């Protein structure tokens, strides 16, 4: 009997998933899960056996029919003349890798950064953390920059650098560890560090595997999306090991040059619709046209709908409850002079995969029950048969070719072994090592369960039904998963 096929076709899936995964575990193919409770594996005392070598994903390239038509007339024409690289390239000893990632973000290493901060700067950062929530509620600047004594990687020191906190101020209070953004162009607009203008160190307290952003972005890049690079890194602060972080590439002009070879367009961040580039050169008329779109046709005049649908389907795949797909604010939109259309850029997935137990979220109908800020572009796309078909087609292609559980679990195993000692030695992590192991095992189980659920969902959608994990495929289109008819 083909267990995978049985799980995929089963309708009483809540039990079938657990039985199927237990059988896969016995065959050495899947992580252990608890039964009948949630699939969170308890860490075994014995060492894991080395997984077999697996092929890498094939990078996805958009077919010709997904390329946008001839660019429309722009309200502001693109920059004329030769393109100018925003910063010099890094020295030859720090090359970009095959994925186009900067040396610092290579997956093969965990870089260590040596940083010196004065007592005054440390006190100011602590003050920023304490009042961040109040500043945010009053719409004041909640992340001011402060001076840095020294910032070094290997034998390379930054000539000028500033530091501020990063992340959502609403969650700073419960953290033992600062999250940092270091900027090298605050005092000198031409400043950089090995060709980078900014470097982000993320350590969200609920990202207890240290891998959510890193794993999300790796899938996105291999799926052909213009996504940041990320790995893990250590910080030595004032001579003492401070902790393990996710090192994340900043979306800025350097990113736009490396990914799109076009840094001259307008870059907008969804959180506050703030312009991040060309502040002195442009206005918001193009953005206003995008936000005023009322249907798929008017949206397609200013927005790259095929790639936008692919990013939204990618967020549903994980899933990413803080992404634009679900009504969250984590997104950038780039007005690309090459096409005359806005491009949706994936951003900030430290809440992806296992946060809030997301494995059975409906990829079409689920929206954040609280703090949803709307999802206008998503709603316009799926409101029409053509857009809905495109969205589901992208979801299925991503699932088939870029969300293979056996590959992702091998990657999780390899990365956990890579960062394990740094995690154990981290004196400031806001959780203990046992919780890290537990949540990493939950991440392994999640990728299996999410893939199986989405395959059943797609099969059911083709028949015109709605798939609910606890019940199966049926006609209950608007039913809530917890309350099927």
Backbone dihedral angles phi then psi of residue 385, each to the nearest 5 degrees: -55, -40
Closest by CA position to 245, among listed 286, 281, 204, 303 = 204
Q: What are the tens digits of pLDDT across the range 202-228?
A: 998 889 999 999 999 999 999 999 999
Q: How confident is the model at residue 138 (pLDDT cuts 50, 70, 90)?
A: low
Three-state DSSP class for residue 335:
strand
Higher pLDDT, 16 or 406: 406
Strand partners, 233: 245
> Would the pLDDT of 438 be above 60?
yes
Nearest to 383 by CA among 305, 331, 457: 305
User: DSSP labels for 208-236?
Assistant: TTS-HHHHHHHHHHHTT-----EEEEEEE
Structure tokens at 146: 């402060």
Domain boundaries, the chain: 3-41+405-474
Confidence label for 243 from pLDDT (cuts 50, 70 and 90): very high
Contact 246, 230 (CB under 8 A): yes
- Is 427 strand, coil or helix? coil
CA atoms within 13 A on the CB side of 123: 3
- Kindly indicate the confidence band of residue 453, based on its pLDDT and cuts at 50, 70 and 90: very high
List, as one string, the DSSP characters of 449-484: HHHHHHHHHHHHHHTT-EEETTTEEES-TT-BTTB-
Q: Please give the model's pTM, rounded to 2 decimal places.
A: 0.82
Closest by CA to 395, choosing from 310, 293, 288, is 310
The label of the residue with tokens 């195993």 reads 413
Among residues 388, 389, 409, 415, the alpha carbon closest in space to that of 451 is found at 409
């Amino acid at each position: 009997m083909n267990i995978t096929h049985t799980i995929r076709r089963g309708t009483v899936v809540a039990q079938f998933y657990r039985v199927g995964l237990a059988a896969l575990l016995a065959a050495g193919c899947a992580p252990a899960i608890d039964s009948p409770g949630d699939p969170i594996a308890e860490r075994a005392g014995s060492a894991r056996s080395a997984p077999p070598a697996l092929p890498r994903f094939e990078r996805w390239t958009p077919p010709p029919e997904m390329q946008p038509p001839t660019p429309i007339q722009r309200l502001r024409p693109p920059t004329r003349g030769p393109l100018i690289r925003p910063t010099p390239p890094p020295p030859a000893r720090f090359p970009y890798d095959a994925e186009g990632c900067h040396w610092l973000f290579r997956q093969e290493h965990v870089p260590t950064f040596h940083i010196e901060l004065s007592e005054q700067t440390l006190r100011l950062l602590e003050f920023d953390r304490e009042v961040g929530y109040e500043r945010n509620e009053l719409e004041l600047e909640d992340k001011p920059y402060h001076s840095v004594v020294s910032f070094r990687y290997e034998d390379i020191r930054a000539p000028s650098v500033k530091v501020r906190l990063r992340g959502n101020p609403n969650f700073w209070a419960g953290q033992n560890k600062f999250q940092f953004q270091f900027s090298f162009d605050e005092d000198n607009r031409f400043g950089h560090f090995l060709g980078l203008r900014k470097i982000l160190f993320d350590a969200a307290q609920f990202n207890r595997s240290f891998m959510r952003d890193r794993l999300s972005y790796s899938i996105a890049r291999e799926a052909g999306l213009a996504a940041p690079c990320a790995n893990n890194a250590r910080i030595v602060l004032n001579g003492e090991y401070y902790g393990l972080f996710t090192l994340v590439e900043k979306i800025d002009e350097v990113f736009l040059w490396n990914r799109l070879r076009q840094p001259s367009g307008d870059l907008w961040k969804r959180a506050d619709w703030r312009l991040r580039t060309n502040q002195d050169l442009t206005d918001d008329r193009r953005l206003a046209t995008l936000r005023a779109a009322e249907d798929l046709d008017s949206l397609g005049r200013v927005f790259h709908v095929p790639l936008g649908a692919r990013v939204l389907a990618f967020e549903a795949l994980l899933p990413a409850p803080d992404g634009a797909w679900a009504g969250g604010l984590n997104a950038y939109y780039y007005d690309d002079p090459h096409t005359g259309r806005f491009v949706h850029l994936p951003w900030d997935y430290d809440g992806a995969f296992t946060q809030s137990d997301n494995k059975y979220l409906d990829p079409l109908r689920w929206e954040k029950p609280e703090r949803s800020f709307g999802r206008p572009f998503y709603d316009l796309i799926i409101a029409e048969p053509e857009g809905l078909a495109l969205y589901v087609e992208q979801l299925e292609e991503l699932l088939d070719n870029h969300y293979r559980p056996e590959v992702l679990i091998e990657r999780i195993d390899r990365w956990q072994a890579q960062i394990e000692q740094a995690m154990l030695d981290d004196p400031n992590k806001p959780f203990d090592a046992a919780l890290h192991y537990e949540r990493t095992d939950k991440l392994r189980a999640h990728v299996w369960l999410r893939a199986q659920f989405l395959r059943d969902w797609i099969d059911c959608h083709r028949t015109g039904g709605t798939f609910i994990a606890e019940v199966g495929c049926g006609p209950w289109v608007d039913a809530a998963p917890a309350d099927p008819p």
